Chain A
Amino acid sequence: MTDLDRLFREYHQPLVRYLTRRLGDRDWAEEVAQETFLRAVRQGVIVSERSWLFAVATNLIRDEARRDARRRKHLELLQQQARAEEAVEPEPLTIERAQETAMARRAIEMLTERDREALLMKEEGLDYNEIAAALELSVASVGTTLARARRRLVEAYESLQESAAHKEGRGSHAAS
């Protein structure tokens, strides 16, 4: 089995999941993952494979995010349009789940980049040393970063839930 085979088998799935969560776009995530693996092959010897792969993938999407802000904006518009269309003919369960996902995405986007990446890496099973290496943090600060990220995420999500409930209440009040 070649190095590429092994790397791919071992890390492709968590890397794509991390990137999908980070980007909200599975295809894009797969492309970034593919590029990451290609770079790993070119790199040759890698000491800490998992943190290296996650660091490279993270850097790739950072660079790309700068270049591609316009495209993402357009995608968001399309998604909003689709959601608006869905609201015309509600499908309770599906919409509820879609709203939850959209809210989770908005909440995660409210974190700082570093907090978000540390949290998503932790959720992918990277340990503190690996997160520190990937994000160029000190190991001692990873706990603080994660604590802050988690708390802010939960708070942001709760706040979004509250405002959504408030809007719904206002809507039903206006309707009556």
Chain B
Amino acid sequence: MQHLDEGTIHAWLDGALPPLEAEQVAKHAAECSTCAAAVADARGVIAGSARIVSALDDIPAGVIPGGGRATAPVVGTSLWRRLRFTPGRAALAATILLAVSATLTLRSPDSSSVIQKDKAVDVAPSKPLPKSTPTPTSAPVPVRVTLDSVKLPGPSVRVVNAAAPRKLEEVTNAPQAQVAERGRAADAVTPRDSTRDLQKVRATAQAATAGASSVAAVPPAVSTMTANANAPRALGVRDSVTTFEGCYRLSADSSAGLPEMPRGLPTRFTLSRPSTELRAAPQRFAEARADSVGFPIAWQQLSATQANVTFGSRSARPVSLTLTAGSSVGVASSGDRTSTVRVIRSPCPP
């Protein structure tokens, strides 16, 4: 038998040879020292290449905004993660939910009635409210919505062009005002006939009720900020809502002639999604950490493309930092002073 060629050795090691041929190869490798060395070498190459390929799973974060976590593992991602649920999306869904509720309220022929507290309301757009259903007049009455009955176009639902997979139109690539407008017309919209999309919609709507309270309650330091709905979308980000969760590093914006960082800002900080516990605390929107003690921070997603982070300080005024999708420059403001700072999204430490 001739010496084994490299392809045959790899096929043998991969278990891809028929039994008879595999037996012959094994026998030859046992007898021929040259081929035995080639087999050992091939084993090393296979192991080495596998290790290199697995290194590809760590995707370093680019600049703001990353579409997800810096090193998001593919394995074991939860449904929530797969749906890329973010507080911003929750806010959008909440907006739509409220808009639909308002529409149904205004469309009701009997506007003098008042909905009973804690009465579950089916807001399915295709199912008009019965005439006898009482509706609120002017005062905002707490309403509990049965989520399973909600049929809404979810904020993350995409329309896919079969011929050009990368040219995806995003249903919600619009300012929140337009989304709200769409929400008002939601009774004309029917959900797509897809199990996953339906799950997405339901999941997002469920999340909205949880996230709505935290999104609506804005701390004083943040409430003055104005969302820029027309901010440019970041290249490479196809989500309608940018995910700002992640780790960041700040440095002086030397290109703008600012040799030093604005006072009151840490050199690095982390933003993560709102947690159940924090939701109960009105002044904190999310778990957020900075590198130094003395930087209590809170953050909120202002719009699809902007987030605001407020850094507290014992000795000075709070500093507000606005992050914009697609920009590596953040705007820091404290009192009437405004300056820019370089913002880099960096991989989170393990």
Residue positions of A touching B, CB distance < 8 A: 2, 4-5, 8, 13, 16-17, 20-21, 24-28, 30-32, 34-35, 38-39, 42, 60, 63-64, 67-68, 71, 74-75, 78-79, 81-83, 85-86, 88-89, 91, 93-94, 97-98, 100-105, 107-108, 119-120, 122-123, 127-128, 141-151, 153-154, 157
Contact = CB atoms under 8 A, between A and B. Distances in A.
B160 interface: yes
Contact of A107 (B11, B14, B52): B52
Interface string B60-85: 11110001100010110000001000
A82 B7 contact: no
Contact of A144 (B7, B56, B162, B267): B7
Contacts of B231: none
B11 A142 contact: yes
Given A85-B251, A146-B10, 18 more contacts: A20-B57, A26-B59, A27-B68, A31-B168, A35-B165, A67-B166, A75-B235, A78-B62, A82-B328, A82-B345, A94-B346, A97-B347, A101-B56, A122-B14, A147-B6, A151-B6, A153-B52, A154-B48
A101 B58 CA distance: 6
A1 to B, nearest CB: 10
B63 A82 contact: yes
Interface stretch (B104-112, B134-142, B236-244, B305-313): B236-244
B52 A157 contact: yes
Contacts of B45: 147, 150-151, 154
B53 A120 contact: yes
Interface in B160-198: 160, 162, 164-166, 168, 194-196
B270 to A, nearest CB: 13
Contacts of B158: 34
B9 A94 contact: no
B292 interface: no
A108 B56 contact: yes
Interface residues of B, number: 59
Contacts of A30: 82
Contacts of A105: 56
B273 interface: no
30 contacts: A5-B195, A13-B74, A20-B74, A26-B59, A26-B68, A27-B238, A27-B239, A28-B236, A31-B238, A38-B162, A42-B162, A63-B165, A64-B165, A71-B235, A74-B235, A74-B236, A75-B62, A82-B60, A82-B328, A86-B346, A89-B251, A100-B55, A104-B55, A108-B53, A128-B16, A143-B9, A144-B6, A146-B14, A149-B49, A150-B45
Contacts of B11: 128, 142-143, 146
A129 B86 CA distance: 41
A84 to B, nearest CB: 10
B28 interface: no
A48 to B, nearest CB: 16
Query: Which 9 residue pairs across A and B have the least CB separation, nearest first?
Result: A144-B7, A143-B11, A35-B165, A143-B7, A27-B67, A104-B55, A150-B49, A147-B10, A128-B16
